[in-house]
Copies of this chain bind each other. A is one copy, B any other.
Amino acid sequence: MSVTIAVDAMGGDHGPAVTVPASLQFVARHPDVRIILVGIAGAVEHALAAATPSARERIEVRAASETVDMDEPPADALRRKKDSSMRVAIDLVKSGAADACVSAGNTGALMAIARFVLKTLPGIDRPAIASQLPTRRGTTLMLDLGANVNCTSEQLVQFAAMGSALVAAVDGIERPTVGLLNVGEEDIKGNDLVRETSERLKASGLNFHGNVEGSDIYKGTTDVVVCDGFVGNVALKTSEGLAQMLYEFLRAEFARNALTRVAASVAWPVLRAFKRRIDPRRYNGAMLVGLKGVVVKSHGGADAVAFVNALARAHAEVAHGVLDRIAQRISAHA
């Protein structure tokens, strides 16, 4: 089976300087993949100049005349930029010319355009943003990470069903455990939304573990962690900030004086292994789930290594038939 991925070549902080080399690397590693680079033709072709002929063979360029700015209001991007690289990339998924689309651009705009063009799957009110996070046991899928800052309990149950279907399909876990993010494990804890959602999840037929706390995310207590987009976004960004601070403190301690710098040189291979293990680039590629199409959002500041992982995420979603699995699960739990 050949997989075609439409890449918003202009998206992200670095545009074609990252998206094009990453695309070339990805097709070189995956003989079954074709990539359509969507963007300002000159800029894309320029970045493609270094491509080997064999990689170039499976890369197509589709011109788009506009780009969506990183801080552009999503409604403006949707209404006024019908020929943006982001829009054209999503249109390619809609038309069936591509199996998936990857963008490092403006998250809100990507969500708005994807929802408008692709529509949601039957039984899904709102799409969610899902991401895989590293845990002490492996990985966990968390959603929503910011698409929906006001959620109903019904939507949270839909997120749980989608997350379960995704993990079942991609990671091959038959009945993934689902945790509901709360301020305590007891049923009586939490706000009204969470209590109501908990009752619904118990009756949903999903493998509901119960409430989980923030600390359970990285413990890997459940395969899926469900929360509203406000809470999820705060948890994710708090994690990013903390990891950065801890890494900086560790560096500072090793840079303190001549003696600690000697220690650093001895410990260097270990520290490098540690850094690699927690490298956020490994987890780059958030999935917009609940749409009639595979859309993956790369971090805006992604480099080529990180963007390749976002492409891999899109590829895996297509290869594992995630869309069908979600649709099946939603109809089963409707």
Contact = CB atoms under 8 A, between A and B. Distances in A.
Nearest to A245: B218
Interface in A263-314: 263-264, 266-267, 269-271, 273-274, 277-278
A179 to B, nearest CB: 12
Contacts of A219: 241, 245
Interface string A226-256: 0101110111111111111110111001101
A270 B186 CA distance: 40
B253 A241 contact: no
Contacts of A249: 274, 277-278
B192 A150 contact: yes
B267 A234 contact: no
A279 to B, nearest CB: 11
A234 B253 contact: no
A54 interface: no
A183 interface: yes
Contacts of A136: 245, 248
Contact of A73 (B71, B188, B227): B188
A135 interface: yes
Contact of A183 (B218, B233, B241): B233
Nearest to A190: B149
A181 interface: yes
Interface in A98-121: none
Contact of A267 (B215, B235, B263): B263
B218 A238 contact: yes
Contacts of A259: 269
Contacts of A250: 274
Nearest to A216: B241
Contacts of A231: 230-231, 234
- Residues of A contacting B: mostly: helix
A277 B263 contact: no
B234 A227 contact: yes
A237 B213 contact: yes
A214 interface: yes
Nearest to A73: B188
Nearest to A192: B150
B238 A190 contact: no
A10 B242 CA distance: 33
A233 B185 CA distance: 13
A248 B192 CA distance: 35
B214 A241 contact: yes
A273 B264 CA distance: 13
Contacts of A192: 150
A237 B214 contact: yes
A186 to B, nearest CB: 8
B233 A235 contact: no
A71 B185 CA distance: 11
A191 interface: yes
16 contacts: A136-B248, A181-B234, A213-B233, A215-B238, A215-B240, A215-B241, A217-B241, A219-B245, A227-B234, A246-B278, A249-B274, A253-B274, A254-B270, A259-B269, A264-B270, A266-B266
